[in-house]
Amino acid sequence: MRVHQLEVGSMQNFTYVVEDEETKESVVIDPSWDLDLVIEIIERNSLKIKYVINTHHHFDHTIGNDAIAKHTKSKILQHESSTLKNDLRVSNGDKIKFGNSELAVLHTPGHSKDSICLIGDGKIFSGDTLFVGNCGRVDLPGGSAKELYHSLLDIIYKLDDNLTLYPGHNYGNSAISTLGKEKKTNFVMQQRTEAEFLDFMSRD
């Protein structure tokens, strides 16, 4: 599984093109803003896009959905609780297959109700649930600090330290990280009670 990480737009978003190297069948995660970059990667590597996948419904991760899906004749895939237009809905534990690769869906609400992480081949695409050095905000509609606490500390914390982290924005001091490094250094991943987590998330 080969990952093309593209920084797009003015909000430091990451779009990912994830390639099954053996078959060239691929997926695009969170297409938005600079679609030329996505199309260039697809054409240069002769990729066949099977799905457009969104880590959550926010506009800065989805505004390129229709254009890329139409251009590549692919299907738009989102969590079942998304309110946006899509072709396929997935739920926790589902496997998204393309070529000989697959990504497992992990439902991680908190930043939004429909937030998912995608895990496969030693990688985790975390959307706006977990950034390098931080986590997503919880003050937008559908956000919940309580849900994010459980997603980060009860679900993501239990995953393998060796997973390479591919976040939804370039907000940290590096574009990628590992889960082990985030567990050690990211202040939101430190062991806290739910009450302690809610307290610090409510501060500015």
Residue 26 or 112 having the CB closest to Fe ion: 112
Structure tokens at 126: 């975390």
Taking alpha carbons only, the member of 61, 192, 51, 42 closest to residue 115 is 61
Residue 194 · residue 146 · CB < 8 Å: yes
Q: Which residue is nearest to Fe ion (CB)?
A: 58
Residue 115 · residue 127 · CB < 8 Å: yes
Binding segment for Fe ion (CB under 5 A), chosen from 37-45, 67-75, 80-88, 120-128, is 120-128
The reply on whether position 58 binds Fe ion by CB under 5 A is: yes
How many H helices and E strands in the chain? 6, 14
> Which residue is listed with tokens 């869906």?
105
Residue 98 or 166 having the CB closest to Fe ion: 166
Binding segment for Fe ion (CB under 5 A), chosen from 3-11, 34-42, 126-134, 187-195, is 126-134
What is the pattern of x (binds Fe ion, CB under 5 A) and - over residues 129-148? --------------------
Binding segment for Fe ion (CB under 5 A), chosen from 2-10, 52-60, 67-75, 157-165, is 52-60
Residue 55 or 101 having the CB closest to Fe ion: 55
Shortest CB 73 distance to Fe ion, Å = 27
Structure tokens at 178: 């590992």
The reply on whether position 107 binds Fe ion by CB under 5 A is: no
The reply on whether position 128 binds Fe ion by CB under 5 A is: yes
DSSP 159: S
Binding segment for Fe ion (CB under 5 A), chosen from 8-16, 51-59, 75-83, 188-196, is 51-59
The reply on whether position 169 binds Fe ion by CB under 5 A is: no
- Give the sheet arrangement for strand 116-120, strand by strand: 95-98, 101-107, 116-120, 123-127, 164-167, 177-178
The CA distance from 60 to 47, in Å, is 24
Given the rule CB under 5 A, which residues bind Fe ion? 58, 128
